[in-house]
Amino acid sequence: MAEQTGRREAGPAAGPDGEPVSLWERLERPPVARTVLTHEQIAAAAIEIADADGLAAVTIRGLAARLDAAPMALYRYVKGKDEVFELMVDAVVGAEPDLPPAATWREAMRAQAHRTRDTTLAHRWLIQVPPQARAALTPRRFAAIERSLAALDGLGLDADHRMAVFDTVTAYATGAAATETTMLQLMEGAGWSSGHELRTALGPQMRWLMSTGRYPAYQRTLTESRHIDDASWRFELGLECVLDGIACRLGI
Amino acid sequence: MAEQTGRREAGPAAGPDGEPVSLWERLERPPVARTVLTHEQIAAAAIEIADADGLAAVTIRGLAARLDAAPMALYRYVKGKDEVFELMVDAVVGAEPDLPPAATWREAMRAQAHRTRDTTLAHRWLIQVPPQARAALTPRRFAAIERSLAALDGLGLDADHRMAVFDTVTAYATGAAATETTMLQLMEGAGWSSGHELRTALGPQMRWLMSTGRYPAYQRTLTESRHIDDASWRFELGLECVLDGIACRLGI
DNA sequence: GACTCGCTGCGTACGTTGTATCTGAATAGA
DNA sequence: TCTATTCAGATACAACGTACGCAGCGAGTC
């Protein structure tokens, strides 16, 4: 029987129990396919795991299993687990839909902020990714920044102010999206499905804290608020404030 | 010889090697002090470790060692590692200096934003704390929110808008502080001590990306910017924009 | 064609982690 | 004095990331 190239016998010299494995047992074992992966496949598999079971479920072993590969085989493609995270973030950034060309800087910034929020909510594990992996300088991230900065050209702003505008909108969008996502996860973890339940079924600790009467302003705000469940409303109002402020202070 | 109350022999039935420990060896061992801890001590020790060696160095075992306690002894005070993180965050929030009473909502919000940034920069591990632990509802967190919300009273804003103002400023401050901290850590990890070095000694990947000419707007912004190393300048400019926008849109 | 050598993919194994479980000493009660 | 109860924390375990080293192939040499 001709040997298949590209494959070979799985031949560990010893089993997990330390007992040497006989030649015959080795011949009996199915040949293990040589792993040929791409970074895209790794990223996609990791994202599937994270979307389904959370970021903590993304382990080298689990990822390898999903890819039908040996755990150590992944290290041919990444230097360590951190790079898996980088791949995940880059893939998610790359999968974002292209923004339609914006007529004004304001539209461009608004669209970018909304996209940041959408992506964060679609992949809630993003906020748990170690910051250094999230901030990694990848081509797709560069491209995203480039597009936003390009939208700020021709407004008479110098480089410092262009950067400041971009950073300010980004800071607001990431901060707001992170807070919203965290709250969603907190509610899910507690088995609540909406903010309303959160306030009526109020967690014991929260109820106790409120009942002390030490937080009147907070309590009043919570009970009187009508848009409290409407995170979109709050995000958009805040965003318009930020954009207004930029327009106002920078005269654009 | 009278026995000392509150102490007892350390009496493991077997050593780490699995060998049973003889009575005589047990009698020889120094008595282990019974651990009496407080949550404050645990938080303080964990913060010391994290400040010195990063959040990853905060392990149950390491923490217990610093407290001269057995690893499992900590579980009398916390339900798991997550609660250690909650204690750390709460302690850091509680250690923030009281803000001087502010004459205007604007001053109050500005002071709060600056404090958020200062705290984040002082304890850079904060951005790595799992979001759910960072957002945990603790008395001190409530108190901080209460003070900010109280500053928004008497401006003719309804509850929704008071909450929106607070959330918007908070989102900007946390987002900006997180970005800044991440960049600092990235530079430290690469051995650069300033943003200037970062741009001149430009990491190989970044230089390559720039040299492709695919990111002209970004490149122009980086080379022309003069305040690029001045994170405080950018933070403050952005913050004033946010405050301007709130004032402008909400008419306060 | 036979033999050697270097390289590489990945199987094995190690050290470390968080924490469930269980032992056995200390204490209270009869 | 003896038994029941409690609970601190020692032990043990499963799962993790990944260093290490070896088997096997292909290239290079005679």
pLDDT tens, residue by residue, B121-160: 999 999 999 999 999 888 899 899 999 999 999 999 999 9
| B246 interaction partners in chain A (CB closer than 8 Å) | 241, 245
pLDDT of residue A194: 65
- Statement: residue B195 has pLDDT above 70: no
Average pLDDT over residues B75-104: 94
3-state SS class at A32: strand
pLDDT of residue B4: 33
Report the distance separating Cα B110 and Cα A21, nearest Å.
70
The region of weakest confidence among A136-145, A195-204, B23-32 is B23-32
pLDDT of residue B231: 95
Q: How confident is the model at residue A49 (pLDDT cuts 50, 70, 90)?
A: very high
Q: Which residues of A76-115 are buried (b: 16+ CB within 10 A; e: fewer)?
A: ebbeebebbbbbbbbbbbeeeeebeebeebbebbbbbbbb
Which residue do the tokens 């579980």 mark? B75
Find the Å distance, CA of residue B118 to C1' of nucleotide D8.
Answer: 40
Report the distance separating Cα A163 and Cα B140, nearest Å.
35
Q: With an 8 Å Cβ cutoff, are A142 and B214 in contact?
A: yes
pLDDT of residue B8: 34
- What are the structural domains of chain A? 3-93 (1.10.10.60), 105-194+229-250 (1.10.357.10)
Phi/psi of residue B199, nearest 5 degrees: -85, -30
| B182 interaction partners in chain A (CB closer than 8 Å) | 131-132, 134-135
For chain B, the average pLDDT equals: 85
Q: How confident is the model at residue B201 (pLDDT cuts 50, 70, 90)?
A: low
- Statement: residue A83 has pLDDT above 60: yes
Average pLDDT over residues A144-170: 95
Phi/psi of residue A194, nearest 5 degrees: -155, 160
pLDDT of residue A205: 63
pLDDT of residue B229: 87
Cα nearest neighbour of A166 on chain B: B238
Q: Alpha helices, DSSP H only, in chain B?
A: 23-28, 39-53, 60-66, 81-95, 105-122, 131-134, 139-150, 159-190, 195-200, 204-211, 216-224, 231-250
pLDDT of residue A195: 61
- Statement: residue B45 has pLDDT above 90: yes
Q: With an 8 Å Cβ cutoff, are B150 and A217 in contact?
A: yes
Report the distance separating Cα B166 and Cα A250, nearest Å.
23
- Statement: residue B103 has pLDDT above 80: yes
pLDDT tens, residue by residue, B118-127: 999 999 999 9
Phi/psi of residue B32, nearest 5 degrees: -90, 130
The region of weakest confidence among A69-83, A120-134, A176-190, A205-219 is A205-219
Q: What percent of chain A has pLDDT above 90?
A: 64
Average pLDDT over residues A159-180: 97
| A233 interaction partners in chain B (CB closer than 8 Å) | 160
Q: Is the distance from CB of B146 to CB of A217 less than 8 angstroms?
A: yes
Say if strands A7-8 and A32-33 run parallel, antiparallel, or are unpaired. antiparallel
Q: Which residues contact A102 (CB under 8 A, 6 or more apart)?
A: A108, A111, A151
Average pLDDT over residues A96-106: 92
Q: What percent of chain B has pLDDT above 70?
A: 80
3-state SS class at A72: helix
- Statement: residue A48 has pLDDT above 50: yes
The region of weakest confidence among A115-124, A205-214, A231-240, B180-189 is A205-214
Q: How confident is the model at residue A202 (pLDDT cuts 50, 70, 90)?
A: low
pLDDT of residue A245: 98
Distance of CA A235 to the CA centre of its chain: 18
Q: With an 8 Å Cβ cutoff, are A132 and B217 in contact?
A: no
pLDDT of residue A168: 98
pLDDT tens, residue by residue, A18-42: 444 445 454 445 444 566 899 999 9
Q: Is the distance from CB of A160 to CB of A168 less than 8 angstroms?
A: no
pLDDT of residue A152: 96
Task: Give the nucleotide with minimal C1' distance to the Cα of B8.
Answer: C25
Q: How confident is the model at residue A7 (pLDDT cuts 50, 70, 90)?
A: very low
Q: With an 8 Å Cβ cutoff, are A176 and B179 in contact?
A: no
Cα nearest neighbour of A147 on chain B: B217
Q: Looking at chain B, how many residues does it have?
A: 252
Q: What percent of chain B has pLDDT above 90?
A: 64
For chain A, the average pLDDT equals: 85
Distance of CA A58 to the CA centre of its chain: 13
Report the distance separating Cα A78 and Cα A173, nearest Å.
30
- Statement: residue B1 has pLDDT above 80: no
- Statement: residue B46 has pLDDT above 70: yes
Distance to chain A for B45, nearest Cα, Å: 23
Distance to chain B for A194, nearest Cα, Å: 17
pLDDT of residue A17: 41
Q: With an 8 Å Cβ cutoff, are A209 and B150 in contact?
A: no
Q: Alpha helices, DSSP H only, in chain A?
A: 23-28, 39-53, 60-66, 81-95, 105-122, 131-134, 139-150, 159-189, 195-200, 204-211, 216-224, 231-250
For helices B105-122 and B231-250, what crossing angle results, to 10°?
Answer: 150
Q: Is the distance from CB of B115 to CB of B99 less than 8 angstroms?
A: yes
The region of weakest confidence among A14-23, A199-208, B24-33 is A14-23
* Token pair for A245: 């402020």
